[in-house]
A and B are shown apart, each in its own frame.
Chain A
Amino acid sequence: MTKCVLFLIDQLQWLFRLLKIDFPSLRTIVEVKMMMENRRPHSLHQKNAKREQNNSFIKSLGFQVLFSFIFGAMLLFFEKTAYNLYLYNFAFIMFMIAFNMISDFIEVLFDTTDNIILIPRPVESRVIWMARLIHISVFIITITLANSLGSIVFTCIKLGFLAGLVYFVSVILLCLITIFITGILYLLLTKIVSGERLKDIIGYVQVLFSLLLMVGYQVGIRFVSNILKSQEIQISWWHYLTPPAWFAGLMEVVANHHFETPYLVFMSLILTVPFVSLFLMNHYLAPVFAKSLSEYGTPEKTETTAQTVQNSNILIYLSKKCTKGSLENAAFTFVWKITSRDRKFKIRAYPVFGLMIYYIVKLFSNDSSIGLNKWMVLYYASFCIYGVSQQIFYSDDWKAAWIFKNSPIEQPGDILYGGLKVIIIKWAIPTYMLIGILMYYKFGFEIIDDVIFAFVNTLLCLGVTVSKVEFAMPFSQSITEQNKAAKNFSRIILMLLVVPIMGGIHFFISKVPYGVVVLTFIFLIIALLLLKEYRKITWEKIQG
């Protein structure tokens, strides 16, 4: 990988010399960046990445290639017009590029940690900027090619080798355009807001993107079937503003040899925009970037942007009412506050809720499958809450967990129990209350016992985890450790078995008169007993 990139930039030496960039230092910086990047875990496919393993990137690429073939297969099904399908295809790919940019690489572009190494050396800031741009482009292009490999192959099959080649080049150009757009947007943001606030905004955008991705998989399938039915090409004015449309137009030209005005406009846009934006970036972004280099990362600046925290009386009230003893109280406030503030936690925990919104919308859309949707909403919520409960063990500050081993905690179970109470009070109760209200409007009062039963089942699900062999203190595990295959496996098994079994029991018991009411009480008692067991967990069961 590293060698391949170095070879490519060696070939482009003339271009860098033309841009007046000191090539040897550029090459050195790029080489080191690539080496380090190979050792960095990626947020998108963490499940496949082993801790600090050199080929973690290759593995996640393999996964994406596999997916790209499933996704790209739709290209085989168009009949006359290529435009609509390719529009969807390119839109998806551009979305993935933006997603990768935001989740992994935007920080790379404006990362200040290597300032301390690079700025005191005789290296021009223009070189640093170009090195970052190359770094980012290499990985975005690699990931995107993996994402579109299936589409390239199927394009070759359907439209011939030349069309495949055009598609290949299109993807690379699309990458560059997306990188430029995201870069420009990011720079604009840094102008408006600063420091931690900026990171917060990016965090929320990341959650939003992940959410869209979850929903998009569901909606997308319907979308494609609609596209396949329609053979009409409708080019609206806004298509001229969206890069996927330009490339879809190009594919239409290749497929059906159209040469009307819109297609010519698309093609000229493709030919000009990447190069114009490269020129603009080099001329206007580079100076701004150089300025931001000297501004950011200086302690005086960051100290003034520190966020003040207001004490919430609700939290104090809840922690007093709901917990017993100072250990439980400490854990309760601790978990509550960190989950409200830790960006990484939100990114990990919240996107799964996206699909629930989708099911709720479907529930109200008078679909024929309304009965099924009811169960999906009730038990997908259960799945989400269970997912959140598993995220409270991970943190970037996991090393700070030394404090637990160091304090006189006789029963670590108290801490775990306090954390569980946060899960129940902060997520489980509000989620089911919301579902209850929504379902009340839809089905009327008789649905309430079902909602309560599903809620109790969720508690039971959380309670069952007391039978685990090993436990961890809240926020004491590093995120890379999350990747241990065995752990994931057991989690998936639990979710794939336990939740459907509970849903199944619910479905059948709802046929029996008073069945739900009776079982709610029985399950509630079992769940509460199991949850109480958490208190008794000893240090022997806490992992290190």
Chain B
Amino acid sequence: MENLTPVITIKNLIKVYDATLVLNDINLEFYAGQITGYIGPNGAGKSTTLKILIGMLEDFKGEVSVLGFDVRKDAMEIKKRIGYVPENAMLYEVLTPMEYLLFVGRLYQMEDYIIEKRATELLSILGLKEVLDKRMNTFSKGMKQKVLLIAGMIHNPEIIFLDEPLSGLDANAVILVKEILAKLKEAGKTIIYSSHIMEVVEKLSDRIVIINKGQVVADGTFTALKENASSLSLEGIFSTLTGNSEEDQSLSNEFVSVLASR
């Protein structure tokens, strides 16, 4: 791993939002062809880190470079080469999936026929062939999430950032998307995603980064994390590092007893 040049370097990243420290001195390097699970409790700063990496937030302290480009100076170059699937994202619901993808593809300066060809095929693969020409305002959350996944990758990016990519998907779609991510990795893509589903992160990731209160608290392969934390599941490691398992025990007891109180 050490002999590779990193595709993403984060040095001393600090982000202050409304006088609270959201990211407190983050130092990370990501390498090509890796799947990294970026996890942490709500409000730990996952989405903020991703937004900085894709050039959406420019107001931060520290050095961040993606594919050799400085995110502050060359955001445009980075945006061309990366894909991003945001969490709970909205899309223009009066459009059809095809029209939306055509719109997004054109923003990436792609040729119409390529967009149309890719969109048609990708939508059919994800089981949306029948609704290709239907407006999205009646789509379920999972259907919209599939469209967003395609929209984030249609320009064949080198790095793909996904924020909770599996939310709203049914079990079969989760399996499919997991397979797709694994295949993308084989094809040499770098994937960084966040998720709350520990089982998925455990199985899918080459590397796991856990952040809590804006700081990296664990970083390494699942095996390495297990050795350090003396816990067998990622769930256990996660809760030791970011919560307090003994406290959780007493809290859960308390919860049940309050339900029965008068």
Q: Which A residues are within 8 Å of any B CB, using their own CB? A: 195-196, 299, 302-303, 305-311, 325-327, 329-330, 333-334, 337-338, 341-342, 395, 397, 399-400, 402-410, 475
Residues of B28-83 whose CB lies within 8 A of A: 54, 56, 76-77, 79-80
Cβ of B206 under 8 Å from chain A: no
A306 contacts B135, CB within 8 Å?
yes
CB closest residue in chain A, given B136: A306
B138 contacts A305, CB within 8 Å?
yes
B110 contacts A326, CB within 8 Å?
yes
B80 contacts A308, CB within 8 Å?
no
Enumerate chain A residues within 8 angstroms of B99, measured Cβ to Cβ: 309, 333, 337
B107 contacts A409, CB within 8 Å?
yes
Map CB proximity to A onto B102-140 as digits: 1 under 8 Å, 0 otherwise.
111011111110000000000000000001011101111
Enumerate chain B residues within 8 angstroms of A404, measured Cβ to Cβ: 107
22 A-B interface contacts by CB (under 8 A): A196-B138, A303-B140, A306-B134, A307-B134, A307-B135, A309-B96, A309-B135, A327-B106, A327-B109, A334-B95, A334-B103, A337-B94, A397-B92, A399-B89, A400-B91, A403-B104, A403-B151, A406-B54, A407-B79, A407-B108, A408-B80, A475-B92
Q: How far is the CB of A349 from chain B (nearest CB, A)?
A: 14
Q: How far is the CB of A481 from chain B (nearest CB, A)?
A: 15
CB closest residue in chain A, given B94: A341
Enumerate chain B residues within 8 angstroms of A341, measured Cβ to Cβ: 94-95, 135
A406 contacts B106, CB within 8 Å?
no
A307-B134, A330-B103, A333-B102 known; A400+B89 contact, CB < 8 A: yes
Separation of A406 and B82 alpha carbons in the complex (Å): 10
A308 contacts B107, CB within 8 Å?
no
Enumerate chain B residues within 8 angstroms of A196, measured Cβ to Cβ: 135, 137-138
CB closest residue in chain B, given A329: B106
B79 contacts A406, CB within 8 Å?
yes
Given A330-B107, A400-B90, A406-B56, 17 further pairs, Cβ under 8 A: A196-B135, A196-B138, A302-B138, A303-B131, A306-B131, A308-B134, A310-B133, A326-B109, A326-B112, A327-B109, A330-B103, A334-B103, A338-B95, A341-B135, A397-B91, A402-B86, A475-B92
Which 10 residue pairs spanning A and B have beta carbons closest together? A330-B106, A407-B107, A306-B134, A399-B90, A408-B79, A400-B90, A341-B94, A408-B80, A326-B106, A302-B138
Separation of A341 and B93 alpha carbons in the complex (Å): 10
B94 contacts A342, CB within 8 Å?
yes
Q: How far is the CB of A187 from chain B (nearest CB, A)?
A: 22
Separation of A342 and B137 alpha carbons in the complex (Å): 11
Separation of A317 and B106 alpha carbons in the complex (Å): 16
Separation of A310 and B77 alpha carbons in the complex (Å): 36
Cβ of B193 under 8 Å from chain A: no
Separation of A242 and B139 alpha carbons in the complex (Å): 43
Separation of A407 and B105 alpha carbons in the complex (Å): 9
Enumerate chain B residues within 8 angstroms of A403, measured Cβ to Cβ: 91, 104, 107, 151
Separation of A302 and B96 alpha carbons in the complex (Å): 15
Separation of A341 and B92 alpha carbons in the complex (Å): 11
Of the listed residues A196, A325, A327, A402, the one surrounded by the most CB atoms of chain B closer than 10 A to its CB is A402
Q: How far is the CB of A330 from chain B (nearest CB, A)?
A: 3
Q: How far is the CB of B128 from chain A (nearest CB, A)?
A: 11
CB closest residue in chain B, given A396: B93
A327-B106, A330-B103 known; A306+B138 contact, CB < 8 A: yes
Enumerate chain A residues within 8 angstroms of B95, measured Cβ to Cβ: 334, 337-338, 341
Cβ of B222 under 8 Å from chain A: no
Cβ of B238 under 8 Å from chain A: no
CB closest residue in chain B, given A418: B106
Pick the contact of A408 from B56, B103, B108, B139 — CB < 8 Å?
Answer: B108
Enumerate chain B residues within 8 angstroms of A342, measured Cβ to Cβ: 94
Of the listed residues B77, B106, B109, the one surrounded by the most CB atoms of chain A closer than 10 A to its CB is B106
Separation of A302 and B136 alpha carbons in the complex (Å): 11
Enumerate chain A residues within 8 angstroms of B90, measured Cβ to Cβ: 397, 399-400, 402
Enumerate chain B residues within 8 angstroms of A329, measured Cβ to Cβ: 106
Separation of A407 and B151 alpha carbons in the complex (Å): 11
B103 contacts A397, CB within 8 Å?
no
Q: How far is the CB of B32 from chain A (nearest CB, A)?
A: 20
Enumerate chain B residues within 8 angstroms of A325, measured Cβ to Cβ: 109
CB closest residue in chain B, given A395: B92
Residues of B170-185 whose CB lies within 8 A of A: none
Enumerate chain A residues within 8 angstroms of B84, measured Cβ to Cβ: 406
Separation of A338 and B137 alpha carbons in the complex (Å): 12
Enumerate chain A residues within 8 angstroms of B76, measured Cβ to Cβ: 408, 410
Q: How far is the CB of A169 from chain B (nearest CB, A)?
A: 43
A309-B135, A327-B109 known; A333+B103 contact, CB < 8 A: yes
Enumerate chain A residues within 8 angstroms of B111, measured Cβ to Cβ: 326
Map CB proximity to A onto B157-193 as digits: 1 under 8 Å, 0 otherwise.
0000000000000000000000000000000000000
Enumerate chain B residues within 8 angstroms of A407, measured Cβ to Cβ: 79, 104, 107-108
